[in-house]
Structure 1
């Protein structure tokens, strides 16, 4: 099982995907209040727009996504995510904040289902259950370490570090998608 290249690619992709999601989800309200000037009540609604975008991205974008090349499709989503975060970070316009937060969630939504699909298509059916369990289990490392590390760094530098960290993780994830091996016939 450990000789399969897809595991060594799927694990970091899942770690990065969970890290981006949980880092944004955990710090967005504080970022909106402290750096964007949103009220504490409004920032919670803006966070809800992020989660709604994530949900709609998973539900509605995962299905037509099967008609797009895995590498190109995931890279386009992650570049769009990085673009949405960049606009959110640099442009100070409340109405645009709402749109970019939702867009970021929408672009990140299909990430985890896409990774699971890519990995499961490249392992034999006899190993599929354990491989997916390992990949998701390792992804949970990103779900805990991403917010922890970014929280420690934000404590030292400030919340202004959140967007560049998310953009960097998205770009790194986009590059790793290009390492996904081609599909092979599995027993």
Structure 2
């Protein structure tokens, strides 16, 4: 992927003045325009931080949610199923919504919808209401995630910005178990965690409205509405999109399930072990971004997967909490870069005119994996026991490797 400007053929709503090729943003944009660009970067990064703060908390809160609603592991798995439905709907609706509201408007809509879910979670008068809340958060987070990734991939040196964006997600996942664990273990109401996420959603929406205020709730280009259906069809008909989407689907499921698949024990200690995993995950996205780009994204994903399998086996077979902490930290470190690396490779194999739609679809669909596999593993574990989690994790890592191997190289596919 060539790097020509701060934006590689960006949609008109991203930058008010056209960029000049081969110049950094500071040189080609007026101060006001540069502030607009970097303001949007801050806004999208904060949106992803909020996504991480959402995703990593549920596993820690489950030991407190179950006795509160007097439900079993199977009922808990329904949360992930409902979340899956929300994300699945958003993955197909994203292109059409964006064609009417533009990037900024769709981002704001997604944040508002997920905020509605947090309000219901905090209220939580009954388990059915708590369950319905995840339909809102699943849909809203998938929309926001799609827009944040679609925007970031247009930035010059996008492999670094994607690494930063998803490292920020990692920061959210590190803090979430710590905050959730502290609230649930030291206060009588674990629901207070969702009051914090609701406040963050309000800040998130306000920041997005301000940074995307120029052209907010307007299409990215004049013909977007008429092209939305065709763009979705072209995106879904491209063979590479399904291999990449399959990789994201399994990866996102492994990422979230690994974050909660820690050994049985004191819920307070388990929460901190989860943070160890997310800490390694975040460091990996920062430390390995340039290394991966230098030695080749395709090659390095295979290397990282092999190392991840080794540390997953160690986590499974060594019944020691210190060894578990070390192995799960290194496991997170090596799988951390997969998501931003996958998005970068997508821009190399998918035609440029399909980039925004393809990134939006895969990013939204990837979030479905965050819900689908915890649901499946929870449903299986409720009948076969929690010992099935580790073999499932091994299978997910192997499946990711297969999908990654099937992704074609740039120019390999010629569509008629």
CA RMSD in angstroms, aligned pairs only: 1.7
After superposition, what is the alpha-carbon deviation per residue over 1:152-172, rounded to whole angstroms, capped at 9, x for unaligned? Answer: 011111111111111110011
- TM-score (norm: length of structure 1): 0.89
Shift of 1:40: 2.6
Unaligned runs of 5+ in 2: 1-233
CA contact (8 A) 2:249 2:365 kept: yes
The whole-number CA distance in structure 1 between the counterparts of 2:334 and 2:390 is 15
2:247 is aligned with 1:20? no
CA contact (8 A) 1:79 1:174 kept: no
Query: Which residue does the alignment assign to 2:349?
Result: 122
2:272 is aligned with 1:45? yes
If asked which structure has higher relative contact order (CA below 8 Å, sep 6+), I would say 1
Match for 2:376 among 126, 138, 149? 149
2:75 is aligned with 1:75? no
2:398 is aligned with 1:171? yes
The whole-number CA distance in structure 1 between the counterparts of 2:270 and 2:365 is 31
Query: Which residue does the alignment assign to 1:90?
Result: 317
After superposition, what is the alpha-carbon deviation per residue over 1:3-29, rounded to whole angstroms, capped at 9, x for unaligned? Answer: 32220111101100111011112x33x
Shift of 1:55: 0.7
Larger Rg: 2
The whole-number CA distance in structure 2 between the counterparts of 1:171 and 1:47 is 22
Query: Which residue does the alignment assign to 1:5?
Result: 239
Query: Which residue does the alignment assign to 1:158?
Result: 385
The whole-number CA distance in structure 2 between the counterparts of 1:97 and 1:77 is 19
Secondary structure of 1:8's partner? helix
The whole-number CA distance in structure 1 between the counterparts of 2:315 and 2:335 is 15
- TM-score (norm: length of structure 2): 0.41
Query: Which residue does the alignment assign to 1:104?
Result: 331
CA contact (8 A) 2:244 2:403 kept: no
2:372 is aligned with 1:138? no
Once the two structures are superposed, the pairs formed by residues 25-36 of structure 1 within 5 Å of their partners are 25=259, 27-28=260-261, 31-32=262-263, 34=264
